[in-house]
Amino acid sequence: MSNKHISHYKILNKIGSGGMAEVYKATDLNTKDQVALKILLPNLATDEIIRKRFLREAKIGMQLDHPSIVKVYEVREDRKRPFIAMEFVKGETLDQIMRSGSLDLERSIEIGLKVTDALSVAHAQGVFHRDLKPRNIMLVGGNAKVMDFGLARIVGESSLTEQHMIVGTLSYMSPEQAIGGEIDGRSDLFSLGVVLYEMLAGIRPFSGDNLGATLHAILYSDPLSIQELNKDIPDEVEKVILKALKKKQNRRYQTALEFRTDLEQLQALFQGKLVQLIAKKEVFEETPRGIYSKFIGRDKELESLEKCLSHALSGESTVLLLQGEAGIGKSRLAWELGNRAKEKGVRYMTARCLPKERGYAYQPIIEIIRDYFELKMIRDLEGVQDFLENKACHLATREGIVQTLLQMNPDKPVVLINKDQLWDTISELVKVMAKDRAIIMHLDDLHWADSLTLNLLVYLAMTTRQERILIIGSYRPEELVDEDSKSHPLNTTLASLQKGRLCEEMTLRRLGKEDTRHVIDSVLSHSKFADSFYDSIYRETEGNPLFVLEVLGYLRDVGTMVQESSGWRLASETTGMAIPDRLTDVITGRLRKIHRESRNILDVASVQGYDFNSEVICHVLGLSRLKVLRCLQDLELSHHLIHALERRYQFDHAMIQETVYNTLIPELKKEYHKLIANYYIERYRDSDQQAGTIAHNLMNADEEQESLPYLLKAGEYCRKLFAYNDALHYFNRGIESINKIPNDLTPELNNIRLSLFKYRADTQLSVGSYKEAKDSNEQHWRLVQEYGTPEEQASCLHVFARIYTGLADYKSALNNCDKAIRIQRKIKDRSGQVRILLDYGTIYFRLGDYKNSLKHLKKALNLARQTGHETAQSNALTNIGVVNLFLGNLDEALQYYEQAMDIAQRLKDKRGIASALANIGAVKESSGEYTQALRYFEQSLTIKMEMGDRSGAGDTISNIGLVQFEMGNFDKALEYYRKAIDIRTAIGAKWGLAATLNNIALLYHYTGDYEKALHYYNEALALNISIGNRTYEMYSRRYLLRFWLDIGDAARAHQQADSIRKLVKVLKSEFEDMWYEINLAHLKMKKGLHDSAMKHIRKGLAAAKRMDCLEAYIEGLLIAGKAELARANTAKAKNYVNDALQLATEKKRKCDMAQTYLLLAKINLNGNETKTAEENAVESKKISEACGTKEITWAAYYLLGEIHKKNKQHIKAKSEYQEAKKVLDVITSKLSKELRKIYLNKTEIRQFYKDLKRSTSRKK
């Protein structure tokens, strides 16, 4: 102040200021005492109402006298400046202390005790503080003093909208004070609860980005558990604070003395004493929403759920599928479990699936993850980084994916390797959540979930089996048939969960007559009705709980029932009682009783959907936030139609939302949808994530043309998330809409039209719908020819090439490549040329024309180097390596893979590094350097797992299994194959799954477990046929042909040969031609057509040598050896087999070595070289026993018996025969009756048993 005196006080210095007054240190010239002067601000002092209120309210504080209250000495005016003279306290305010650091637990409770002392005195005299906050609490030594009693009333309720009212003050208000309701002392106790919470947790329990968000939190949000933020806080402390923070006044402490009593008990607790609190465990429970009844008629079901939860708490996660008709009580049952589970420290988290037009891929699961991060107060990028570093360091490299899930960085593009990287990240986040605290995840209304969400649910069920998680999925069975009678995607999910034994199921039935009566009595407590009343309600509702509750609400609203002090009664004693026949009619009747303004708010909410946002309502109706929040509170508390969540609202049941929406006239619906669309456009115009919502509302507003750019953007966003079905939904809607527009389109609409057809074709291609993609691309081509650019024409032709490649129509694929590259050369699009050249390489490779494949890939590499496009260089190098590896040019393959690795390392491309490591591992595997191969594969696997590339990890794990198989470590191989199966099943990678099933079948085939081998061969074949994978279908049939030859069923082997012949004609691949010749040689050998067999095997060997295919070459040499032996060309036979042995030994292919030694033994025995034959047979037996190849083992024992018999060592022969029989017994014991009969009828088996019989009947 410029004047150093006011009244009889001398101003010394300014010590503080606020939105209402300035505070000065002063000396009372009469007493010489130091005082604090609070002087009303000049702009407020001129307001007569505020000036008078200041003087009146401040004088109330003069009657308060207590050591914990700052004493008010005088209230008066001087030169029209009202002021208060009060006790000068040397100390700091609580907010100053809190800013400098946190307070310990015991000190916080001591402060709370002092404040309750002050409040007790004030409340006893009818004085309420109204603005209790840390700034109004002074700390002086060991004491705390409360100041400014009653001053909050001076500026009144209007302060909520004044610029000088800070959010911090609102954050300490009770719900009733925040909305201008009647308050009493319990409001101050709520404010003290906020202060204590902040002291112990370090944050306020109710806050938001703006006044409206803070107000919503105060009215509706439950505070975070203090133990979430400070694990050292005992349960008892949290109970006391949470009781003070109850929304309803009658559930808080009723007096400051009660509050003080519990705070004293906490002090006794700190001293190790047993305590009895007023605050009970009920403070942790939520209040059920809507018209509330006690939990009735579901005790057995709840007991079953609690058993499932117990298993989950012990680390045995499961999925519980809860089915029942609408309104049957599924959500209530899950809620009751969650409410009870809180006592065990379990989190209950729920999200509801939404219809396709309102939901998005993975929506309910992502919502739960977002709620968790909100729970942990992680609201910005820095918070995410800190969380990943400290709680989930293994996900640190996936920060961008986590940000995408949380919608924290909308400007950053979504970069995902594949769908399963996203799935794995979500799964790992859920595991982190479960490690923090056991959780119940309730996914409600699964019948509305999209297929990707359902697939992710199966994935979570598989990957979280050992976590403390109980997933509850509830759905309506009547919704599981689509309008077009197609099977609902949830049926597929249910089948998958059932097949994998990943779920338990429960069906909720309607309540019986007696339970229905109990529900009515629970709602209408202390009432007596005639039996006819209960009978009428039961008859009309048939025991559907929601229908029962809605009928009771209806009867209350229309005045059929009235409430008296003794309870409820019928308004009229007449026997007739009108109850609408349908639930929707009951809801409609209740809606008629709502005030018009509230009904308008409810209408807009229904247009938003089951979940809705108050800010949207404010925008659409032009109402103030406070007015909307008050109406919403009335709709919740008085009408029981909606309920509030942390950041949004929900209707109490989907049928309420549907009924409200359906009562709107069409024009009003359209107008509301348009206004809602405008809100999202204004706020989220550039957000890909909100494009679907904008498009949905514009479409429903009949603004189809305006919706087109948003439909396109929504589809593109879904593609980035690999949500291809959702993407197709948006593209199809866009195409339908744009086709309705006349042909004279604007350039902008033409571009949108082109993009819609282009992206639809690309998406259909991505999901393997080649015929549909071809149709879409043909439509795109017609448009591109009409008004597209040359670049677009070349791109369209390139898509045709990829489609025809998928259809195995390689001639058409090459034709389109030719057309595309001519355009690209003309317009000098070198990047486009590189892409086409890479595709040429792929097509020629599939045709088996490896020379042309390498030629085009090398052209692509040179062009990519000229353009400096390193990613394209890496792709070309990798593909060249693949071809060389396939041809057996291992050194060249290694050279190209290492160059690709250098580029990936330079670009810090982890995916490229992992791929290069796996490829180098494949080279080492092919060269027989198994130890090095395993090292490279394991390095690759580590990176892929770190990135969440589950698909790539499945490939690498399968490759590790293959190395173990080739090393003869069949048990380890099977272990890795099963891991690969689990991953590929979980992510739905059918191509990789089929390949691994083939590998497992081959392993069982080698080990003589023919029944299992046949099972897996057939599974692999069926899967390959179902996905249209003809190349791998060929593999499956080739192995099945060998299987039936080995088992002894020539007819079935010929059936497979016929199918292979047809596939060979379609595929036109030199590689498949080679195997076909080898397979024919096998068949001819079985028929005894040895000369014909040699013709085929010569062709096969020539092709295998030309392509340097080691596996085929060794197999061909062995068949040639058998054929020459049968033709009595012993020397030639031995040459072929020795060549095979040399190759098998060099490459350490143990199974091939065992088979080769066995055939060599037969050749030497045939040439009477019994000693050498015996050595060969012993070596075969030793290797095959180590590998577990029983078919070779029994044959080796049998051959040793034959050798000993030829040497007239009959005892030894007999012993070897008996060993052979033991192995045969193991093989046949695992065969079905049918296969055993076929197997035992084989010529060599029948001959063996004859020889065995002779050896056992021979006299000594």
Per-residue pLDDT of 749-788, as tens digits, reads: 999 999 999 999 999 998 888 999 999 999 999 999 988 8
* 173, two tokens: 């208000």
CA distance 43 to 55: 16
Beta bridge partners of 570: 561
Please tell me the predicted confidence (pLDDT) of residue 4: 84
Element (H, E) at 1116: helix 1110-1126
Q: Is pLDDT at 390 greater than 50 in this prediction? A: yes
As a whole number, mean pLDDT of residues 256-281 equals 90
Strands (E), 311-432: 318-323, 347-352
CA distance 539 to 1144: 81
pLDDT confidence bin for 379, thresholds 50/70/90: confident
For the chain, percent of residues with pLDDT exceeding 90: 52
Residues 1149-1192 have pLDDT tens digits of 888 999 999 999 999 999 999 999 999 999 999 999 988 889 99
Residues 495-506 have pLDDT tens digits of 888 888 899 999
pLDDT confidence bin for 935, thresholds 50/70/90: very high
Instruction: Establish how many alpha carbons lie within 13 A of residue 262's alpha carbon, considering only the half-sphere containing its beta carbon.
Output: 22
Closest of 594, 648, 639, 645 to residue 617, by C-alpha:
648
Q: Is pLDDT at 116 greater than 90 in this prediction? A: yes
As a whole number, mean pLDDT of residues 1011-1032 equals 89
Q: Is pLDDT at 1081 greater than 60 in this prediction? A: yes
Is residue 487 within 8 A of residue 459, CB to CB? The reply is no
Is residue 1203 within 8 A of residue 1174, CB to CB? The reply is yes
Please tell me the predicted confidence (pLDDT) of residue 178: 86
Q: Is pLDDT at 284 greater than 80 in this prediction? A: no
C-alpha dist (Å) from residue 446 to 181, 499, 1017: 41, 19, 35
pLDDT confidence bin for 912, thresholds 50/70/90: very high
Residues 598-650 have pLDDT tens digits of 999 999 999 999 889 899 999 999 998 888 888 888 888 888 888 887 678 88
Q: For domain 94-284, which architecture applies?
A: Orthogonal Bundle (1.10)
CATH topology of domain 1153-1260: 1.25.40
Is residue 326 within 8 A of residue 476, CB to CB? The reply is yes
CA distance 997 to 986: 15
Question: What strands lie across the sheet with 92-93, from one edge to the other?
Answer: 92-93, 137-140, 143-146
Average pLDDT of the chain is 88
What top-level class would CATH report for the domain 300-507? alpha beta
Q: Is pLDDT at 574 greater than 50 in this prediction? A: no
Residues 313-357 have pLDDT tens digits of 988 888 999 999 988 989 889 989 998 888 788 889 999 888 776
Counted residue by residue, the chain has a size of 1260
Residue 1148 DSSP code: T
Is residue 468 within 8 A of residue 438, CB to CB? The reply is yes
pLDDT confidence bin for 822, thresholds 50/70/90: very high
As a whole number, mean pLDDT of residues 184-188 equals 93
Q: Where does the chain hold its CATH 3.30.200.20 domain(s)?
A: 5-87
* 703, two tokens: 């603004």
CA distance 981 to 996: 7
Long-range contacts of 899-907 (CB under 8 A, 24+ apart): 900/874, 903/870, 903/871, 903/873, 903/874, 903/877, 904/874, 906/870, 907/870, 907/871, 907/874
Alpha-helical (H) ranges within 807-909 are 810-826, 830-847, 850-867, 870-887, 890-907
Q: Is pLDDT at 154 greater than 60 in this prediction? A: no
Q: Which residue's entry shows tokens 């019994």?
A: 1170
CA distance 488 to 1102: 53
CA distance 204 to 189: 15
Residues 42-81 have pLDDT tens digits of 888 888 888 887 887 788 888 899 999 999 999 999 888 8
Please tell me the predicted confidence (pLDDT) of residue 451: 85
As a whole number, mean pLDDT of residues 948-956 equals 89
C-alpha dist (Å) from residue 484 to 419, 426, 480, 481: 29, 33, 11, 8
* 319, two tokens: 């999925």
CA distance 1112 to 1100: 8
Q: Pairing mode, if any, of strands 143-146 and 9-17?
A: unpaired
Domain 1069-1148 has CATH 1.25.40.10: yes
Is residue 334 within 8 A of residue 322, CB to CB? The reply is yes
What top-level class would CATH report for the domain 5-87? alpha beta
Please tell me the predicted confidence (pLDDT) of residue 287: 54
Is residue 1023 within 8 A of residue 990, CB to CB? The reply is yes
Please tell me the predicted confidence (pLDDT) of residue 499: 84
For the chain, percent of residues with pLDDT exceeding 70: 95
Please tell me the least confidently modeled range out of 521-530, 805-814, 1132-1141: 521-530
As a whole number, mean pLDDT of residues 383-388 equals 88
Handedness of CA 536, 540, 545, 546 (dihedral sign): negative
Question: What strands lie across the sheet with 611-612, from one edge to the other?
Answer: 611-612, 649-651, 642-644
pLDDT confidence bin for 164, thresholds 50/70/90: very low
Residues 6+ apart with CB under 8 A from 364: 351, 352, 353, 443, 444, 449, 453
What does 159-206 look like in DSSP terms, one character per residue? Answer: GGGSTTS-HHHHTT--HHHHTT----HHHHHHHHHHHHHHHHHSS-SS
Please tell me the predicted confidence (pLDDT) of residue 119: 95
Long-range contacts of 900-906 (CB under 8 A, 24+ apart): 900/874, 903/870, 903/871, 903/873, 903/874, 903/877, 904/874, 906/870
What CATH number was assigned to the domain covering residues 918-987? 1.25.40.10
Q: Is pLDDT at 162 greater than 50 in this prediction? A: no
Closest of 72, 14, 986 to residue 464, by C-alpha:
986
Beta bridge partners of 650: 611, 643
Please tell me the least confidently modeled range out of 222-226, 258-262, 448-452, 1198-1202: 222-226
Q: Is pLDDT at 478 greater than 90 in this prediction? A: no
Q: Where does the chain hold its CATH 1.25.40.10 domain(s)?
A: 829-908, 918-987, 1069-1148, 1153-1260
As a whole number, mean pLDDT of residues 373-391 equals 85
Beta bridge partners of 563: 568
Domain 989-1056 has CATH 3.30.70: no
Please tell me the predicted confidence (pLDDT) of residue 161: 37
Residues 6+ apart with CB under 8 A from 750: 787
- Who wins on pLDDT, 576 or 997? 997
Strands (E), 520-656: 561-564, 567-570, 611-612, 642-644, 649-651
Is residue 756 within 8 A of residue 734, CB to CB? The reply is yes
Please tell me the predicted confidence (pLDDT) of residue 804: 92
C-alpha dist (Å) from residue 1150 to 375, 1114, 1162: 58, 12, 19
38 is annotated as contributing to ligand binding = yes
| Confidence (pTM) | 0.74
Closest of 60, 123, 107, 381 to residue 267, by C-alpha:
107
Cβ burial, residue 100 (10 Å; 0-12/13-18/19+):
exposed
Please tell me the least confidently modeled range out of 237-246, 437-446, 588-597, 666-675: 588-597
Please tell me the predicted confidence (pLDDT) of residue 992: 87
Please tell me the predicted confidence (pLDDT) of residue 94: 94
Domain 829-908 has CATH 1.10.340.30: no
Burial 442-479 (b: 16+ CB within 10 A, else e): bbbbbbbbbbbbbbbbbbbbbbbeebbbbbbbbbbeee
Q: Is pLDDT at 262 greater than 70 in this prediction? A: yes
Please tell me the predicted confidence (pLDDT) of residue 58: 81
Alpha-helical (H) ranges within 703-849 are 704-720, 724-738, 747-766, 770-787, 790-806, 810-826, 830-847
Please tell me the predicted confidence (pLDDT) of residue 1072: 81
pLDDT confidence bin for 1207, thresholds 50/70/90: very high
Residues 677-692 have pLDDT tens digits of 999 999 887 778 889 9
**Angle at which helices 1030-1047 and 990-1006 cross, to 10°:** 20
| CA triple 606-611-616, angle to 5 deg | 70
Closest of 1257, 1251, 1227, 1253 to residue 1240, by C-alpha:
1227
Q: Pairing mode, if any, of strands 503-507 and 318-323?
A: parallel
Question: What strands lie across the sheet with 81-87, from one edge to the other?
Answer: 5-6, 9-17, 21-28, 34-40, 81-87, 72-78
As a whole number, mean pLDDT of residues 1048-1070 equals 86
Task: Reduce the DSSP state of residue 1184 to 3 states and report it.
Answer: helix
CA distance 662 to 1153: 76
What does 229-287 look like in DSSP terms, one character per residue? Answer: H-TTS-HHHHHHHHHHT-SSGGGS-SSHHHHHHHHHHHHHHHTT-----SS-GGGGSPP
What CATH number was assigned to the domain covering residues 594-664? 1.10.10.10
Q: Where does the chain hold its CATH 3.40.50.300 domain(s)?
A: 300-507
